[in-house]
Structure 1
Amino acid sequence: MRIRTSTPLEPAVFTDTHCHLTHLSGAVSAAVDEANQAGVTTMITVGTDLASSAESVQIATSHPGVYASVGIHPNDSIEATEAVLDRIEDLARHPQVVAVGETGLDWFREGAPRVRQEESFRAHIRIARDLDRTVVIHDREAHDDIVRVLMDEMPLPRVVFHCFSGGPDLVQTCAANGWFMSFAGNVTFSNAADLQVSAKQVPSDLLLTETDSPYLTPHPHRGKPNAPSYVPVTTAFLADLHDIEAEEMARITASNARRAFALPDG
């Protein structure tokens, strides 16, 4: 019988491809230990500005199984000056840094002018390409423009749509280009039927799981701060959508994460 969300998932091994350990209210070491106890052995902690990017590198250096992504969030892209981007590039050279971002476009909040967001996005892509790092994309109601920029910037390194929010058309575009699609706890929400349709259509070899913690806590834990230890819940939900065992989905998404971020085996 296929395992459901409420069923313990051990001894499966899980990967959280997108968390913000610098945003957690408690101790980072405690969150990492709790995740390890839940079977989450690999985490990528993601910077959103220069300070959190530098801190993410420090965390990754200090905690086995934790890697970093560095970048300037599109809503903060007014801060993406040449000097700051040079510093991001320096951080991206660190061996524990596997990605650049999160970067992209946000037409929902528009915390920065659109032209500055796109300039920053293109600069992040070029850093990632020069250093062979994965690009981690923040896409909020900007699907067409994200795709336009990516097509303009070909050839690309590996691409991950973090917290995927598009419909079947974007799924098809990503699949055609080999871009990975990562799903967070919001796919488990009762009002996320459209997102669940998209998640079900993602080819299994391009599917990733994440928490985006401390945000987007999955059902049935909504109301609590999210944490990497909750990624098994989302993994099991995606397994249900794809009609496979939760352990098999954990194996698939962990293997995909190694390819998506060029992580070492094991």
Structure 2
Amino acid sequence: MIWDTHAHLDDEVYEEDFQDVLERIKSSGISRVTNVGYDLPSSKRSVQLAQNYDFIYAAIGIHPHNAEEFSDDVMAQLQALAQQPKVLAWGEIGLDYYRDLSPRTIQQEVFVQQIDLANKVGLPIVIHDRDAHQDVLEIVKAHPPKHGGVFHCYSGSWEMAKVLLKLGFYLSFAGPLTFKNARHTVEVARNAPIDRILAETDSPYLTPEPRRGKRNEPAYVREVVRKLAEIKELSIEEMALQTMHNAETIFKLV
């Protein structure tokens, strides 16, 4: 009973062996996967996957890399997609100052607009934050999500995490938690309340140890759960059930 709360199964890298990937999900005990949009086409694909497969859910939104694509028409189409019953969150949205593929001012404006939209349609948000910690923190303080939110693949400090936890956010951990140099991320996972932790893969990216360097897929979320269990001194089964319950809570499937 494991939920991979953040994957991109619509990515073209899965085209040749998509059914095999799905079979490995089932055989690995992964009971749910959230497919996350990053632009309008991927958001539509995510909704279609959720409609086609009972164990797949969807998140919709515009990634900061694609912020310049945001328009009134895109906004209207996303709002329509948000009405689909298996759309659980608005995301991934946020800021990315590592690649700066969109101007930072536009990233910020689109981030705020999408928080407002998520509040309007009643969805939690999924936040992408890369090398933009301070600005992301200031925005979520000034524009709090009314229905909660998740910091996907959390990469900030424990000091920042403490602030986010007080604001009601959940912290999601991916493959980097398993890396040998993950000291700061491990510290966050160790100190974070057990009822505010999620597990994800961000497939096809961020493959966990011991498969690092290869294409990632949702079946490998077991390695993230295994590492969380080790850090929290729990069994894998206990950690799987806890992260499943946490995901059900934030995504309102309880």
8 A Cα contact 1:18 1:210, kept in partner: yes
Q: What is the aligned partner in structure 1 of residue 8 from structure 2?
A: 20
* Structure 2 segments unaligned to the other structure (5+ residues): none
Could you tell me how far 1:33 is from its partner in structure 2?
A: 2.5
Could you tell me how far 1:242 is from its partner in structure 2?
A: 1.0
User: What's the secondary structure of 2:181's corresponding residue?
Assistant: coil
8 A Cα contact 1:171 1:201, kept in partner: no
Q: Over aligned residues, Cα RMSD in angstroms?
A: 1.2
Matches within 5 A, 1:80-95: 80-95=70-85
Matches within 5 A, 1:25-64: 25-26=13-14, 27-64=17-54
Matches within 5 A, 1:134-149: 134-149=124-139
State percent identity of aligned pairs.
Answer: 39
* Matched letter for residue 60 of structure 2: V
Higher deviation after alignment, 118-127 or 18-27: 18-27
Matches within 5 A, 1:117-156: 117-154=107-144, 156=146
User: What's the secondary structure of 1:112's corresponding residue?
Assistant: coil
Q: How many positions carry a matched residue from both structures?
A: 252
8 A Cα contact 1:60 1:66, kept in partner: yes
* Matched letter for residue 39 of structure 2: D
> Structure 1's 155 and 209: CA in aligned 2 closer, same or farther, altered over 3 A?
closer
Q: TM-score, normalized by length of structure 1? A: 0.92
Could you tell me how far 1:130 is from its partner in structure 2?
A: 1.0
Could you tell me how far 1:172 is from its partner in structure 2?
A: 0.3
* Structure 1 segments unaligned to the other structure (5+ residues): 1-12
CA distance in 1, matches of 2:12, 2:2: 20
Matches within 5 A, 1:72-221: 72-154=62-144, 156-221=146-211
Higher deviation after alignment, 147-156 or 14-23: 147-156
User: What's the secondary structure of 1:224's corresponding residue?
Assistant: coil
> Structure 1's 89 and 141: CA in aligned 2 closer, same or farther, altered over 3 A?
same
The Cα offsets for residues 212-251 of structure 1, whole Å up to 9 and x where unpaired, read as: 0000000001122100000111101011111111111101
User: What's the secondary structure of 2:95's corresponding residue?
Assistant: strand
Could you tell me how far 1:29 is from its partner in structure 2?
A: 3.7
User: What's the secondary structure of 1:25's corresponding residue?
Assistant: helix
Q: TM-score, normalized by length of structure 2? A: 0.96
Relative contact order: is structure 1 or structure 2 higher (C-alpha 8 Å, sep ≥ 6)? Answer: 1
Could you tell me how far 1:28 is from its partner in structure 2?
A: 3.6
8 A Cα contact 2:115 2:145, kept in partner: no
User: What's the secondary structure of 2:10's corresponding residue?
Assistant: helix
